[in-house]
Structure formats: C-alpha cells, structure tokens
C-alpha cells in the first residue's frame, strides 16, 4: 500500500486554501469565496497553515516576487492554482486539488526546493514545516491570520483585547537576517528612549487586506513611526467592480438607482466583512459575506431587509466592537473635504466606529430602494468609496489618508484603520494615471 499517496489524497480531500487577490480580481475573489464555502474547504490566513495557494485575478508582473515568497513560505505538500476570471474558479480549484494529491508533483517540488545536503525524502524535508506555528512566517506583508477558538462577547461581538493578529514579515532594510527579516536599527522613540526600529511591509497580500496595497512602515516596539504607500500596480486593463454602475453612467449608459444601490450595499457589506474579520469576529464576517452574495445574486428587497436589519442592529450595537475600535483613525468632515475624500468616510465625520456605522446605515438605505427604476444621479448617489472621478478615483484619496493615520498607531490598530477605510485597489488598477503620491 502506498502510504504517501493515501496521505496526499487525504490532504487534498479538504485542503486549506490561502486565497490571495490581485488588483482587478474582485469578481474572481467573490466567486472563490462562494465556492470555498460551498465545498466546505477551510481558509488559511498564513502560508504556514496552507495546503493550496489560490490566486484570484489578473497577473501583475510587479507582484510576482511577493507571490513567489508566499509560495516559498508554504510547507510541503503544497500546490498552487490561478483563476483570472470568475468563471474559471471551480475548474482551477479542481486543478489545485489534483496537484496537491499527485505524488509525482510533490516529489518534484520537494527535489527542487530541498536544502543542500538534505534528502527530500529524509526526516523533516517534507513535513518539518508543518510543525511551525500557524502564526509563523508570513509573506507578502506582515501579520498572520486570525486565531481560532475566540469567544464572542455577550452582545455577540468580537472577542475583546485585540484584533486576533500576530505579526511578522519581510522588511526593506539594507541588512537582513536569514529568512528575509531586516536587522533592527536604533533610534529615539517619542519619549526620547533609544529603541529598535524595524522596517516592516504591510501587504501587498494579507488576509482581509485591500488587494495589492503595499504600505511600508517603520516600527519602534509595536508603534508605527513612519508610513509610506508603495506605488500601486496599475495597467489600465482592469475595470473597478464595485464602482461599475457609476463608470457606465459616466459613459452615458442607462443605469437605474436600484442597480447602483444593490452594488453599493454589496460593496459596503464586503468592507464590513473584512473589518469584522480583522477585529476577530469571524461569524459576523461570514454573515456580511452571505448578505453580500445574496445581493449580487439578485435577491429581492423583501427577502433581504429582515436579515439586513438584524445584522445592522447586532453589529451597530456591539459594545465589544465599539470598545475595540473607538478613537482609532479619526477623520473629521473638514479633514476629509481638505483631502478630497467623499462618500461614507466624509459623511461619518469620525473614527472607525463612525465609519462602520455609516456603512450600516447606507446598506439599510440601499436595500430599501433595490426596486427603484429611476435613472442614477451619480451626484445624489455616490459610488461606494465616494464621488466617482476616473481622473482620480475616490480610493486614491482614501489611500492618501493612510500614512498620516497610521503614524502613532499600534500594529493591530493599523490593520483596523486600513480595514475601516478599505480603499479599493481595483479603482487605481483601472486608472494608471494615479500614483501613490498623487
């Protein structure tokens, strides 16, 4: 009996999938999330905990090194697959599972990547990495995924005391230790003490992170001292998924209020799902994703309204979520106007709780007008991230706020700030004239 083949088949029966998305890949990501739920395949939030690396979206050559580092950080046995379009997702997941179950592929992979002097069949060559902590080496950015086994608060909210994140990653310092980690350097902190400074990249691939967004931060202790956006990958071929009704209306196509409201509500639920996942409330994140998918599946307002109201009431009233996020990343209405920010972030006039409550209010309003056949007025009903302008999409202004908001924040709070603004990289992938500094 081939024990190795049997073990590979067992691992491939229900693989742990690390899903990463490239800019312009939102439709493929949504299809992959739905398909993984239908198949009951567990999600991995770090390479150390993954069997299958699944890339959703078009190829972006500048992102290949980060994807390759993710792949190298995955323990064997492992496989990877790529779906550029939503329709490709089911078949490409099947391809990935077949590769994971193939003894020939796994032997070839082990031979190619075995350390010098270590037989790929020897002790620890294939399975040693499985002993690594699930919160171990992560690439494509700092931060591991969310821990399991967290309890919820009495109000059904996320666990208190943090965002469920561990942090590591590869930096941009001149000197690196083995494994790609930068050597720390010393510098004065805010109190004048000499503390180690560490250069840490956040993104471009993290769980529950805007696809392709790269932020380089300098840390002292667990506090961000400096932050700078990487140049975003943009090729002009992608179409922004969430803002598509506004893009079509700008081109003169007829778009109804109901169609735009459906897309905007789904976009806000997608953002809420990411925020709740980062905050350590996975059950709430799944509820948001299911509502999002039902909206995109053309469910009626009558079917959606009761569920949406229950969700909005539970999230909006969660004391645990509020205490976890209060005071983080404040953006006043005046500061938003000065920065060219519109949409929910400007209307919220406050911190992360003010913004997620604005998302909830917009979702309830939009679900109530799904049947409205009036023509879309893009000024009266703005796109999910704000007033649509192809020359400088609203996500550009949101992303430009991030460096200033991140400075002084702890790393866990930094993740919540990004999730609480949730700029959409699809918008700047479609608008190559925009730059990280523009």
Secondary structure of 213-239 as H, E, C letters: CCEEEEEECCEEEEEEECCCCCCCCCC
Residue in the structure block whose two tokens are 């799944």: 286
Per-residue pLDDT tens for 47-77?
A: 999 999 999 999 988 899 999 999 999 999 9
What span, in angstroms and rounded, lies between the C-alpha atoms of 55 and 128? 25
For residue 392, the model assigns a pLDDT of 86
Helices (H), 232-390: 244-250, 257-278, 282-296, 301-316, 319-325, 333-338, 344-348, 352-367
Question: Which of 142, 145, 146 has its CA nearest to residue 167?
Answer: 142
Q: Does 77 sit behind a cis peptide bond, omega within 30 degrees of 0 on the bond before it?
A: yes
d(CA 85, CA 24): 10
Q: What pLDDT, on a 0 to 100 scale, did the predictor assign at position 141?
A: 53
DSSP 411: H
Q: Are 63 and 55 in contact (CB under 8 A)?
A: no
pLDDT digits (tens, 9 = 90+) for 336-379: 999 999 999 999 999 999 999 999 999 999 999 999 999 999 98
Q: 296 in helix, strand or coil?
A: helix
Relative to beta strand 215-220, strand 194-202 is antiparallel
- CATH 3.40.50 domain residues, the chain: 3-131
Who's near 146: CB < 8 A, 6+ residues apart?
Answer: 45, 164, 165, 207, 277, 278, 280, 282
**Partners of 197 in the beta sheet?**
185, 220
User: How far is it, in rounded angstroms, from Cα 21 to Cα 29?
Assistant: 6
Find the angle CA(398)-CA(399)-CA(404) to the nearest 5 degrees: 95
Contact 409, 212 (CB under 8 A): no
Please state the pTM of the whole predicted model: 0.82
> Which stretches of the chain score pLDDT less than 70?
1, 113-195, 234-238, 431-438
> Which residues are paired to 53 by β-bridges?
18, 80
Residues 6 or more apart whose CB falls under 8 angstroms from that of 185 comprise 173, 196, 197
CA-angle at 409, arms to 405 and 412, nearest 5°: 115
How far apart (Å, rounded) are the C-alpha atoms in residues 286 and 276?
9
Domain 3-131: state its class: alpha beta
């Amino acid at each position: 009996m081939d024990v190795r083949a049997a073990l590979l088949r067992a691992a491939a029966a229900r693989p742990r999938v690390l899903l990463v998305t490239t800019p312009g890949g939102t439709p493929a990501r949504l299809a992959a999330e739905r398909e993984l739920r239908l198949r009951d395949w567990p999600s991995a939030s770090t390479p150390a905990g993954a069997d299958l690396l699944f890339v959703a979206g078009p190829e972006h050559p500048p992102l290949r090194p980060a994807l390759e580092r993710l792949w190298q950080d995955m323990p064997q046995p492992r496989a990877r697959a790529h779906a550029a379009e939503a329709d490709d997702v089911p078949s490409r997941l099947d391809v990935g599972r077949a590769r994971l179950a193939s003894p020939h592929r796994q032997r070839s992979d082990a031979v190619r990547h075995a350390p010098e002097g270590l037989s790929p069949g020897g002790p620890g060559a294939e399975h040693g990495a499985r002993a690594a902590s699930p919160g171990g080496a992560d690439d494509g950015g700092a931060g591991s995924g969310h821990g399991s086994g967290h309890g919820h608060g009495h109000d059904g909210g996320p666990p208190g005391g943090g965002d469920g994140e561990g942090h590591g990653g590869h930096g941009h310092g001149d000197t690196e230790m083995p494994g790609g980690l930068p050597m720390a350097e010393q510098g004065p902190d805010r109190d004048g003490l000499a503390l180690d400074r560490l250069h840490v990249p956040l993104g471009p691939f993290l769980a529950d992170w805007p696809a392709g967004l790269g932020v380089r931060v300098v840390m002292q202790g667990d506090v961000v001292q400096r932050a700078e956006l990487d140049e975003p990958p943009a090729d002009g071929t992608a179409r922004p998924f969430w803002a598509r009704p506004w893009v079509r209306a700008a081109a003169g196509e007829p778009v109804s209020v109901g169609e735009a409201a459906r897309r905007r509500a789904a976009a806000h639920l997608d953002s809420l799902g990411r925020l709740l996942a980062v905050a350590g409330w996975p059950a709430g994140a799944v509820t948001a994703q299911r509502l999002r998918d039902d909206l995109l599946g053309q469910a009626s307002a009558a079917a959606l309204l009761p569920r949406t109201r229950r969700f909005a009431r539970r999230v909006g009233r969660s004391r645990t979520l509020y205490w976890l996020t209060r005071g983080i990343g404040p953006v006043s209405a005046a500061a938003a106007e000065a920065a060219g920010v519109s949409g929910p972030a400007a209307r919220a006039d406050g911190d992360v709780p003010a913004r997620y409550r604005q998302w909830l209010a917009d979702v309830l309003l939009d679900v109530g007008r799904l049947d409205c056949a009036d023509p879309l007025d893009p000024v009266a009903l703005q796109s999910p991230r704000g007033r649509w302008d192809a020359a400088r999409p609203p996500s550009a202004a949101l992303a430009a706020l991030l460096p200033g908001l991140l400075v002084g924040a702890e790393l866990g709070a930094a993740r919540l700030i990004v999730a609480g603004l949730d700029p959409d990289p699809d918008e700047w992938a479609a608008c190559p004239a925009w730059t990280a500094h523009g």
